[in-house]
Amino acid sequence: MKIVTCLAGAGLLVAGPALAEDIAVDAPISAVTVYPQGASITRMLDFQIPGGTSVLVIDDLPVGIDSSSIRIEGVGNAQILAVEVRRAVKDDDDNPEREALIEQLELLREDLRSLDTRRTAMEAQRQFITNLIADGPGGFAELLGQAGGGIEMWEDAWRMVSDGIFEVERELHAFDIQQREIEEEIEEILDEIANLPSDPPSLELRIETSAVSTTSGEMEVTYQVGNASWAPVYDAILHTGGADAEPMVELVRRAEIFQNTGEDWSDVTLTLSTSRPSGGTNAPTVFESLVGVYERNERVLAIPAPAAEAAEQEIAAGLLDADDGAFLDEVEAIADFGDFRADFIVPNPVSVASGGGSRAVRLATDEADARLFVEAAPRFSDQAFLTAAFTLDSGAPLLAGEVSLFRDDAFVGSSRMAFANPGEEVEIGFGPDDQVRVSWTLADRETGELGLLTRIAYDTREYVATVVNNHDRAIEITIVDRMPVADDERVTVERLPQTTEPTEEDVNGRRGVVAWTYEYEPGGSREIVNAYTVSWPADLFVYGVE
């Protein structure tokens, strides 16, 4: 058997005269690889061609394909001479639903014709009775007189005529009702036919082949399409453990698949890939950045918000992630994945209809031991929040995506998973921890001015955080707060001696953000003091002191 391969940079051509025998072939979709943007479609076809030149025709390719991406490989004693893509010519009558409606329509019209025939017969019967009464010799009365009967014959005759006319009129009335019902059904079917969705436009792939004699074989056709994507979604189930069990996290990986390619994927082998063939292949071009000079307007138009307040405003506006302060766009940008690639092959055949919404498939389940700790920012919330940290040492990387959170089988909310390679620690918040109580109070404040010739204003504050662990086990608790940061050399910020020494400063690179992390025994409590003085020339106006 000879292997035939064609890399077809097929162009979209207008239809022309056929130069060889056209052979229509079925090429069902057998496999699909979905990327974060776009998909690769694989169709398989069996062919049998006579000796000479033949054209295998696949007439149902979607118009959204990238015609330059078409690749054909095959096995058989034949050669592929050329590949061409054309607009497919649709036959409106080649529609099973339309054909079924037309068949119903013809049956109803046949019933209507049969009804008309029966109506004609009944109207003839009515006319006969009418003629019998009016056109007999001397009229109907004379006929009865000639019969020599008495009043009984008159009654019988009148009853016979009356019953005959009544029966005819009853039948004709029933025909009218049947006719209206049939005509209404016909109108409904005509409306259905008129409202049938037109078949979407499609392309026709023409594969010109040559064989010495009759031969058969198979071909694999692949091409790229847009309007398809997949996104990772997760279920994260935290088992908090207890006296006899350590905490652990169960992570269920899923994929949400969207496609509106114009063709249904029925019982296909589905692969989900992190590659991005539809993305750019070169790094962005960096242009020069010009710095200019303008006259400064000394009049103050507005007092700029301090950095911390600006961050809070951005969190409220949805621009910052309240958990770590990182820009959401930066988190999502990890979806570019750099130079790594991972594929997920769904073990069972999958069907995804075009335009039918999303389809979720389960990929895998991972389990890992968890390290639990609690975080709180009592200046801003009296709630403490439970966080689980875990590490997946093997398997595919965790792609950025939405995660549904469960704590001991109870749903606690949704969040977003950041990207992580195997071996990297992942932290996920699992909602408020009611067993940890935190409070925040302003214990002392003093303001005033000092100096004789040079007046210095000051604002001294002392805050106290109280933390209580009501768990029946020891747990690590982190309290996060901030100290003012001088944004002008004329402003001085001084930490006071009574301040509890922070265990971390400039948390996550944010200036002035401090944290105190301690292990709290069951029922343990602690007071944390954050005290500082801010001073500045008294003739200046300052902002952000708190």
In this predicted structure, what is the pLDDT of residue 146?
Answer: 54
Q: How far apart are CA 375 and CA 385, in angstroms?
A: 5
Which of 367, 362, 377, 279 minimizes the C-alpha distance to 323? 377
In this predicted structure, what is the pLDDT of residue 301?
Answer: 36
Q: How far apart are CA 256 and CA 266, in angstroms?
A: 17
Which of 86, 69, 80 minimizes the C-alpha distance to 2? 80
In this predicted structure, what is the pLDDT of residue 433?
Answer: 92
Q: Are 47 and 56 in contact (CB under 8 A)?
A: yes
CB atoms within 10 A of CB 134: 9
In this predicted structure, what is the pLDDT of residue 527?
Answer: 96
Which of 345, 361, 74, 95 minimizes the C-alpha distance to 219? 74
Q: How far apart are CA 488 and CA 536, in angstroms?
A: 9
Q: Are 423 and 439 in contact (CB under 8 A)?
A: no
Contacts of 205 (CB under 8 A, 6+ apart): 10, 57, 58, 59, 61, 70, 83, 84, 85, 221
Q: How far apart are CA 46 and CA 219, in angstroms?
A: 7
Angle among Cα 177, 180, 184 to the nearest 5 degrees reads 140
In this predicted structure, what is the pLDDT of residue 467?
Answer: 95
3 state SS of 531: strand
Q: How far apart are CA 110 and CA 331, in angstroms?
A: 68
Ramachandran assignment for 177, one of left (phi > 0), alpha (psi -120 to 50 degrees), beta (any other): alpha
DSSP string, 266-301: EEEEEEEE---TTS-SSPPPPPP----------S--
Q: How far is CA 13 from CA 65, 220, 371, in A?
A: 14, 22, 62
Tell me whether strands 425-432 and 410-417 are parallel, antiparallel or unpaired. Answer: unpaired
Q: Are 514 and 504 in contact (CB under 8 A)?
A: yes
Q: Determine the residue type at 67.
A: S
Q: Which residue has the tokens 């000879």?
A: 2
Contacts of 391 (CB under 8 A, 6+ apart): 368, 423, 424, 425, 426
Q: Are 246 and 369 in contact (CB under 8 A)?
A: yes
In this predicted structure, what is the pLDDT of residue 140?
Answer: 53
Sign of torsion over alpha carbons 142, 143, 144, 147: positive
Question: 260-272 pLDDT, tens per residue?
Answer: 888 899 999 988 8
Burial 177-197 (b: 16+ CB within 10 A, else e): eeeeeeeebbeebeeeeeeee
In this predicted structure, what is the pLDDT of residue 152?
Answer: 56
Work out the burial of residue 9: count CB atoms within 10 Å of its CB; fewer than 13 is exposed, 13-18 middle, 19 or more buried. exposed
Helix, strand and coil percent figures for the chain, each rounded to 5: 20, 45, 35
Q: Return the half-sphere exposure (C-beta side, CA atoms, 13 A cut-off) of residue 222.
A: 13
Q: Are 51 and 206 in contact (CB under 8 A)?
A: no
Ramachandran assignment for 448, one of left (phi > 0), alpha (psi -120 to 50 degrees), beta (any other): left
Question: 494-539 pLDDT, tens per residue?
Answer: 999 999 999 999 998 999 999 999 999 999 999 999 999 999 998 8
Over the chain (546 residues), the average pLDDT of each successive run of 10 is: 47 44 90 90 91 89 83 83 78 70 84 82 76 56 53 59 75 83 85 73 84 89 90 91 82 89 90 71 59 43 40 41 35 33 79 84 87 92 92 80 90 88 89 93 92 86 95 92 89 93 93 94 94 90 81
Sign of torsion over alpha carbons 357, 362, 366, 367: positive
Helices (H), 81-138: 96-135
Q: Are 208 and 83 in contact (CB under 8 A)?
A: yes
The total number of residues shown for the chain amounts to 546
Which of 212, 458, 202 minimizes the C-alpha distance to 354? 202
Q: How far is CA 413 from CA 118, 410, 432, in A?
A: 72, 9, 11
Which of 524, 478, 471, 523 minimizes the C-alpha distance to 241? 471
Q: How far apart are CA 510 and CA 480, in angstroms?
A: 12
Q: How far apart are CA 64 and CA 201, in angstroms?
A: 10
DSSP string, 452-484: SSS-EEEEEEEEEEEEEE-SSS-EEEEEEEE--
Q: How far apart are the first and last CA of the chain?
A: 83
Q: How far apart are CA 307 and CA 92, in angstroms?
A: 66
Sheet strands (E) in 130-289:
202-211, 215-225, 228-239, 248-259, 265-273
